[in-house]
């Protein structure tokens, strides 16, 4: 079980995605809504999130278009539908949420976040000035001992809402590839 120091409790239990064992990849389907202050309705996305045995993460967006966000050992990248890959700043606020929380970077969680218990989960607040400039808070919902929802509230008024499906195990060869339609 993962834990993070918090001022309101001696320890806050954090259940992120189950860790892959051996050569398997942990995969969850997800939906994402991005609510912008200047838009009446949110933009909706869906896809899969893969976590490799080495802790690398890939978000494969399949709707409305095919794109990938790669959080790899050597950097963080966005890959558009044209296949072009470009590096993103490693400290981008919402990317840090994915890397630290879902990726389970316990050192970063303890160092960079302040956690408080909340109904049905916990809330993370940035503990570094750099992150505090771009992030207000992250609300994490926990069901059946694992993260089920994440809401990222950015300082510019944008809200990103993620909902995660059940955990599946897939072969390492499928890491970072869109799930096959049935």
Does pLDDT of 23 surpass 50?
yes
Q: Which residues contact 40 (CB under 8 A, 6 or more apart)?
A: none
Q: What is the mean pLDDT of residues 120-134?
A: 86
Give the H or E element holding residue 130: helix 129-132
| Rounded Cα gap, residues 155 and 140, in angstroms | 18
Percentage of the chain modeled with pLDDT above 70: 84
Domain boundaries, position 91? 2-174
- pLDDT class for 134, splitting at 50, 70, 90? confident
What is the per-residue pLDDT for 149? 92
Does pLDDT of 153 surpass 70?
yes
List the structure tokens of 74: 């050597």
The answer to whether residue 182 sits within a structural domain is no
The answer to whether residue 97 sits within a structural domain is yes
The answer to whether residue 181 sits within a structural domain is no
The answer to whether residue 127 sits within a structural domain is yes
The answer to whether residue 110 sits within a structural domain is yes
Q: What is the mean pLDDT of residues 57-73?
A: 89
With H, G, I as helix, E, B as strand and everything else as coil, classify residue 172: helix
Count the domains in the chain. 1
**What is this structure's pTM?**
0.81
Upstream peptide bond of 152 is cis (omega within 30 degrees of 0):
no
The answer to whether residue 115 sits within a structural domain is yes
Complete DSSP assignment for 91-128: T-HHHHHIIIIITT-HHHHHHHEEEEEETTEEEEEE-S
The answer to whether residue 179 sits within a structural domain is no
The answer to whether residue 180 sits within a structural domain is no
What is the per-residue pLDDT for 182? 52
Sign of CA dihedral 36, 67, 179, 182: positive
Does pLDDT of 20 surpass 80?
no
| CATH code of residue 22 | 2.50.20.10
């Amino acid at each position: 079980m993962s834990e993070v120091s918090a001022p309101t409790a001696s320890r806050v239990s954090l259940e992120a995605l189950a860790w892959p064992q051996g050569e398997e990849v942990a995969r969850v389907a997800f939906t994402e809504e991005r609510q912008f202050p200047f838009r009446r309705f949110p933009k909706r996305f869906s896809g899969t999130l893969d976590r490799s045995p080495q802790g690398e993460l890939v978000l494969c967006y399949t709707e409305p278009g095919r794109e990938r966000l790669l959080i790899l050992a050597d950097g963080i990248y966005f890959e558009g539908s044209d296949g072009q890959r470009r590096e993103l700043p490693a400290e981008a606020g919402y990317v840090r949420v994915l890397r630290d929380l879902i990726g389970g970077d316990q050192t970063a969680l303890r160092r960079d976040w302040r956690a408080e218990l909340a109904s049905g989960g916990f809330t993370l607040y940035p503990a570094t000035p750099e992150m505090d400039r771009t992030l207000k808070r992250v609300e994490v919902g926990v069901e059946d001992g694992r993260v089920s929802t994440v809401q990222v509230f950015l300082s510019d008024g944008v809200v990103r809402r993620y909902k995660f499906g059940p955990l599946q195990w897939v072969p390492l060869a499928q890491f970072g590839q869109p799930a096959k339609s049935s």
